[in-house]
């Protein structure tokens, strides 16, 4: 074929021959060029696109052996780690880390520990409870230890209750289904306004909306009182729990005044008044007319005594007929005196700063007494006042910049309380 083509080209002039040769070359090149591909492109989900050169395997966490231990009375951390074969030397290394030593050293009977070991019996993790809601997990790493805090949030249930007092706040509250803790919350909330030993009358009522905390369907405990109403001898005292924009939480009346006073009305929770303020009282031991310049609260020996206001202990010790006595200096020229104690608490020592409600001592029968009780005096600029009737200075009210939001909140909460009260009455 090539020879015939050359002979044919000789029949044409030279430039014609060159053109034919070029045309022939182009035709041959086109004929030999590969045909275009006819494949279809299918887009797979990302997890199905795997490069051919990689062999992808899913890494499985090795199965760990778990050993559970519960702290027994008398146990130490060392004994707990030894029982689990976790190694005391490893424990000491953990305790050398500040972030770990704090929570780990708060050991208590009943506390749960779980140790996790690999297949070579080397400790990998230890998990321990701080409370029913809080756990800590320590992981052993090549560089040391990591600790993480795991917190479970309880379910919050909102409750309403209402009660009428026949004889005492405590009995009425228990009949309404309130726990001892909630009874104390009520007593503390209204303790600045109502003397539960003298002011309570049959027919007084109280109602409140409060919270309870649950976990896995079981009640953990009581939350706070959200709003409450106490009707005492026809006088209505309302209280609301409110957190302002600065984060401060306290109880206020609907107009923004603090429910908290600078002083508690009484220095004990459980008592009966055996002798009141009386400038002409006959002394039961000396049998002479001697002014009784305070109030006597009869209670069992060992009953805790609370300081009624913030201040400084200026005297603590034995003082004649007062027996064991503590004197506290407060602001505004006010002093309070607590006598006949069986013993002092660590707070009730001379020179200590004390905060309202702290325990400063315990009821006793020291000095000139006929039985265990607390003798309590309230002095203003050196003058004795009746602790049961003296006007108590109030704490700081809600800041004015928070009042507009509070007023709306108070109106809403008081409205909810009223709806609950009306519903409760109609059902009853």
Q: Is the pTM of this model over 0.85?
A: no
Number of helices (H), then strands (E), belonging to the chain: the values are 8, 20
Estimate to the nearest angstrom the gap between the alpha carbon of 334 and the chain centroid. 34
User: If you average pLDDT over residues 226-236, what whole number do you get?
Assistant: 95
DSSP secondary structure, 352-392, as one string: -EE-TT-EEEEEB--SS-SSSEEEEEEEETTEEE-TTTSPP
HSE-up (13 A, CA, CB side) for residue 109: 3
Crossing angle of the two packed helices 14-32 and 2-10, in degrees rounded to 10: 150
For 83-109, how does the pLDDT look when each residue is reduced to its tens digit (9 = 90+)? 999 989 999 999 999 999 999 999 999
Other beta carbons within 10 Å of 130: 16
For 142-217, strand residue ranges (E) read 144-151, 155-164, 205-215
Decide if 308 contacts 336 (C-beta within 8 A). Answer: yes
**What confidence score (pLDDT) does residue 423 get?**
84
The more confidently predicted of residues 280 and 412 is 412
**What confidence score (pLDDT) does residue 270 get?**
65
HSE-up (13 A, CA, CB side) for residue 129: 14
End-to-end Cα distance, the chain: 119
Residue 209 phi/psi, 5-degree rounding, is: -110, 125
Out of 105-109, 180-184, 342-346, 388-392, pick the least confident: 388-392
Q: In the structure encoding, which two tokens stand for residue 411, read together?
A: 């109106």
**What confidence score (pLDDT) does residue 1 get?**
47
Using CA atoms, how far apart are residues 212 and 183, in angstroms rounded to an integer?
Answer: 14
Q: Which residues pair with 344 in a beta bridge?
A: 361
Helix (H), strand (E), coil (C) string for 86-109: CCHHHHHHHHCCHHHHHHHCCCCC
Domains and CATH numbers, the chain: 65-151 (3.10.450.350), 154-261+396-428 (3.10.450.350), 272-385 (2.70.70.10)
**What confidence score (pLDDT) does residue 37 get?**
35
- State the pLDDT confidence band at 260, using cuts at 50, 70 and 90: confident
- State the pLDDT confidence band at 21, using cuts at 50, 70 and 90: low
pLDDT higher than threshold 80 for residue 51: no
């Amino acid at each position: 074929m090539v020879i015939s083509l050359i002979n044919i080209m000789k029949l044409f002039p030279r430039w014609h021959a060159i053109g034919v040769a070029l045309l022939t070359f182009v035709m041959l090149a086109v004929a030999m060029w590969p045909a275009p591909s006819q494949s279809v492109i299918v887009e797979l989900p990302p997890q199905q696109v795997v490069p051919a050169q990689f062999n992808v395997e899913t890494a499985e966490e090795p199965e760990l052996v778990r050993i559970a231990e519960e702290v027994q009375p008398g146990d130490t951390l060392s004994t707990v780690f030894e029982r689990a074969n976790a190694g005391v030397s490893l424990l000491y290394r953990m305790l050398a880390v500040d972030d770990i030593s704090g929570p780990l050293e708060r050991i208590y009977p009943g506390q749960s520990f779980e140790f996790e070991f690999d297949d070579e019996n080397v400790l990998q993790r230890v998990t321990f409870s701080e409370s029913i809601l809080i756990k800590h997990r320590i992981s052993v790493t090549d560089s040391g230890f990591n600790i993480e805090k795991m917190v479970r949030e309880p379910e919050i249930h909102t409750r309403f209750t209402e009660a009428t007092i026949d004889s005492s706040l405590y009995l009425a509250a228990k009949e309404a289904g309130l726990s001892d803790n909630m009874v104390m919350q009520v007593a503390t909330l209204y303790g600045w306004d109502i003397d539960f030993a003298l002011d309570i009358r049959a027919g007084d009522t109280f109602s409140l909306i409060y919270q309870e905390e649950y976990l896995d369907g079981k009640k953990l405990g009581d939350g706070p009182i959200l709003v409450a109403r106490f009707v005492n001898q026809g006088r209505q005292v309302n209280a609301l729990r409110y957190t302002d924009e600065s984060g401060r939480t306290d109880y206020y009346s609907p107009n923004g005044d603090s429910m908290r006073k600078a002083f508690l009305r009484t220095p004990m929770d459980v008592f009966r008044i055996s002798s009141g303020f009386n400038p002409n009282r006959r002394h039961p031991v000396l049998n002479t007319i001697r002014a009784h310049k305070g109030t006597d609260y009869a209670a069992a020996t060992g009953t805790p005594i609370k300081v009624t206001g913030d201040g400084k202990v200026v005297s603590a010790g034995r003082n004649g007929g007062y027996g064991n006595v503590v004197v506290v200096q407060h602001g505004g020229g006010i002093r309070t005196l607590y006598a006949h104690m069986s013993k002092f608490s660590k707070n009730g020592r001379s020179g200590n700063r004390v905060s309202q409600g702290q325990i400063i001592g315990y009821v006793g029968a020291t000095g000139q007494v006929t039985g265990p009780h607390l003798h309590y005096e309230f002095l203003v600029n050196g003058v004795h006042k009746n602790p049961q009737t003296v006007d108590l200075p109030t704490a700081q009210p809600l800041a004015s910049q928070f009042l507009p939001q509070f007023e709306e909140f108070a109106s809403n909460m008081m409205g909810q309380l009223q709806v609950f009260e009306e519903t409760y009455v109609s059902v009853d």
